[in-house]
Amino acid sequence: MNIKSLLLGSAAALAVVSGAQAADAIVAAEPEPAEYARVCDAFGTGYFYIPGTETCLKIGGRVRFDLQAANSYSTAGNIDGTQSEDGFNDDGWFSRSRAEIYMDTASDTEMGALKTQMIARFDFDGTYNDGGHTSTKLIAANIQLGGFLVGLADSYYSSFTGYAGDIINDDVVGYGQFEVNQIAYNFDNGSGITAVIALQDDRKSRVGVDTDGDGFADDEIDASGDGYMPDVVAGLGYSTEAFGFKVVGGYDESRDTGAVKARLDGKFGAVSAFVMAAYNFDGEINDFAPDNTGDGVGWGDWAAWAGLGYQLTDNAAINAQVAYTDSDTFAAAANVKWEPVNGLIIQPEVTYTKWDNVNVDDDQWNGMVRFQRTF
């Protein structure tokens, strides 16, 4: 074998080995395209599809800082228990920071929209300023299918009529409950007619409650809400873009009494207005005729509210509200709501409260400013 033949044979062998190795080479797979979140506009702004599912998710919240002097909900006085002569406490400014996280889901089913709602709240009272006095509260945690709702939500006695005016201290004269566990059905035919019926958990501590102002706890009140009968709320309403009327009633099972409330709304261009009135069946404090100021008297037989708002510009409005009760409690508030940039609200407000009943004859001023970022 000559040198030429040897070289040609070696080259052929190398070609065969190289071809075999090439056949066994690992080739990296092409990366699969990433699945980006898709916008879900079927349930409103802000929803997107959870990747890999047909469930829509919306995440939001708000951060708030309040700075205020005195307390609209209690009579004039200082922390040390002394009374001020001008109805205004002398302890300076108080501050509070709040953060809330909202998480909503929604999806279409053969039985209607399936939704969940969750709101978590965190408050820090600046009285301590040590980082150890943050309170956590669950505001809402409910499941909705069609018009049915189960879980934690504001009482429909308050929410069905639209709460009160666009005022920070809108419930100095209380107009009902807020967070409660409940089973409810809300009907809306899409043409302005709405109705609601709700069964609310009435198990709440009432030990030591003095509802008649005699200085003694009311033994006749079922303190634990034992038994199987819940509180009941029912309402009916009709509304258009410019007009609305709703009426709602609530029965407090533990106290065997309740209240009924009606609200009329109107919108006239830049002006919005409402009037609301309520009747308390036996004149005593109950869940639907509450005592938010702690005077031990509450409404008496009735209470009334009225509010007015005017949109000055696209980003500024003024609001005012007054309330009065059969027990001669008067509350008035006014504010300016300014949105210098989208999502940020600066809202200074002044509130005045006057009590004139068997337990309290006093008045109180409150001044505050709120900074709030909603996202």
In this prediction, residues 177-200 reach a mean pLDDT of: 96
Residue 226, pLDDT above cutoff 80 = no
Q: Which residues pair with 200 in a beta bridge?
A: 182, 231
Q: Tell me what pLDDT residue 295 has.
A: 87
Q: What is the pLDDT of residue 76?
A: 58
Across 31-37, average pLDDT: 63
Determine the Cα–Cα distance for residues 164 and 21; give it in Å rounded to an integer. Answer: 80
**Amino acid identity of 227?**
G
Query: How far apart are the C-alpha atoms of 188 and 149, rounded to whole Å?
Result: 14
First-last CA distance in the chain: 86
- Mean pLDDT of all residues in 246-267: 96
Q: The CATH number of 36-374 is which of 2.40.400.10, 2.40.160.10, 3.10.129.10, 3.30.450.20?
A: 2.40.160.10
Q: 321 in helix, strand or coil?
A: strand
What ranges in the chain are assigned the alpha helix state H?
A: 3-23, 156-159
The length of the chain, given as a count of residues? 375
Task: List phi, psi (to 5°) of 65.
Answer: -130, 125
pLDDT at residue number 327 = 96
Write out pLDDT tens, residues 61-89. Answer: 999 999 999 888 987 554 444 455 554 55
Alpha-carbon Rg of the chain, whole angstroms?
Answer: 31
Cα-Cα-Cα-Cα torsion 174, 179, 180, 182, nearest 10 degrees, comes to 110
pLDDT of residue 140: 98
| Interior/surface letters 292-319, b for 16+ CB within 10 angstroms, e for the rest | bbebbbbbbbbbbbbbbbeeeeeeebeb
Q: What are the domain boundaries of the chain?
A: 36-374
Mean pLDDT score across all residues of the chain: 85
Mean pLDDT, to the nearest integer, of 213-231? 57
Confidence tier at 168 by pLDDT (50, 70, 90): very high
Confidence (pLDDT) at 259: 97
Question: Bridge partners of 276?
Answer: 263, 305
Q: Over 90: is that where the pLDDT of 231 sits?
A: yes
Lowest mean pLDDT among 221-225, 242-246, 266-270, 278-282: 221-225
Q: Please give the Cα distance from 346 to 369 (Å, whole number).
A: 7
DSSP 312: E
Distance of alpha carbon 291 from alpha carbon 174, whole angstroms: 6
Q: How far apart (Å, rounded) are the C-alpha atoms in residues 165 and 319?
A: 8
Query: pLDDT for 323-357, tens place per residue?
Result: 999 999 999 999 999 999 999 999 999 999 999 99
